[in-house]
Amino acid sequence: MKTRPDPADDIESGGRNGPGQRASGGAITAMDRVGAFSGAAYFILANAAIAIGADPATPDAPTGQQSLDALERMAANPAAQVAVGLEFLAFTLWMAFIGYVCWRLRAAGWVAAVALVGGVVEIAVKLGSAAPLISGYSLRDQISPEQAAILTQMNKADFMVGLLPAGLFVLCAAISALRAKELGPVLAWSGIAIGAGNIVTAAVIGVNLPESGFAPSFLLILVWELVISLRWGFARNHPRARFAVKPANPVTS
């Protein structure tokens, strides 16, 4: 009496490649490219919004009156108002990119799920940071310079808090990519370093916000996301990971 493995078991474990081995690569579809390039589109659109809405008359650490004056200039400048809408579109693209990254790395297990949590929280913080700006703009004729200063400081605080989930997303995405062999060691380990660095930066800053309200380490996050977006978007194919499952009872004949 001969035995042979269950065909279903052979498929789940990767066939002749053996348990835990990678199966043959798959072609990149049009939808894959849309998801991958959404990261680059976010980067371009967000920076375009910053360039259009930039107010050179506002210093890095404005007083309450200077913040009110900036809101008045925004009211008189349609381009600055359009820039806010472009930022919202950019955040929408960022949501798509985070979803694509975590879907692509899902074979890495719970670490990919943590990356998704970090990305979702980062988006929530970013969207929440718009509330002080919109509130101040809507009530610019009714609030005092002191109240305007509080709203400006809240916006800065939101950005600094956002370093934590942004770093967690990059850290866990890079670990997942390393486990699933979706990125080479250079890109993966650089992502691990960048993500961990932003988490540490957020923890060290704590309540001591810098006057500029910006952390240079966040630029590394944007650059890393742009690089993997372009790499995956222009790739011809990508590997598909299959992991071994507990063998079923052998089929006898």
**Full domain range(s) for residue 54:** 27-232
Give the CA dihedral 152, 214, 129, 63, nearest 10 degrees. 0
Is residue 16, in this structure, part of any structural domain at all?
no
Which range among 15-24, 126-135, 140-149, 226-235 shows the weakest confidence by mean pLDDT? 15-24
Query: For residue 220, how many other CB atoms are within 10 A of its CB?
Result: 19
pLDDT at 172: 96
Q: What is the per-residue pLDDT for 239?
A: 55
Residue 44 confidence class, pLDDT cut points 50, 70, 90: very high
Split at pLDDT 50, 70, 90, the class of 209 is confident
2 occurs within a structural domain = no
Check: CB of residue 98 under 8 Å from CB of residue 120. yes
Q: CA 202 from chain center: how many Å?
A: 16
Question: What total number of domains does the chain contain?
Answer: 1
pLDDT for res 205: 86
Instruction: Note whether residue 132 is domain-resident.
Output: yes
CB 75 within 8 A of CB 137: yes
Give the pLDDT confidence score for residue 168 in this predicted structure: 96
Tell me, what amino acid is at 78?
A: P
pLDDT of residue 251 exceeding 60 = no
Contacts (Cβ under 8 Å, ≥6 apart) of 248: 6, 8, 9
Does the residue 249 lie in any domain?
A: no
Q: Average pLDDT, stretch 121-147?
A: 89
Predicted pLDDT of residue 16: 38
Can you give the pLDDT at residue 170?
A: 96
Give pTM, 2 decimals.
0.79
Top mean pLDDT of 21-25, 186-190, 205-209 is at 186-190
Residue 217 near residue 163 (C-beta atoms within 8 A) = yes
| Assigned token pair, 65 | 């009156």
Query: What proportion of the chain, given as a percentage, has pLDDT over 90?
Result: 43
Residue 253: per-residue pLDDT? 45
Q: Is the pLDDT of residue 120 over 70?
A: yes
Is a pLDDT exceeding 90 seen at residue 64? no
Residue 41 domain-assigned (yes or no): yes
Does 145 reside within a domain?
yes
Crossing angle of helices 78-104 and 64-75, in 10° steps, is 100
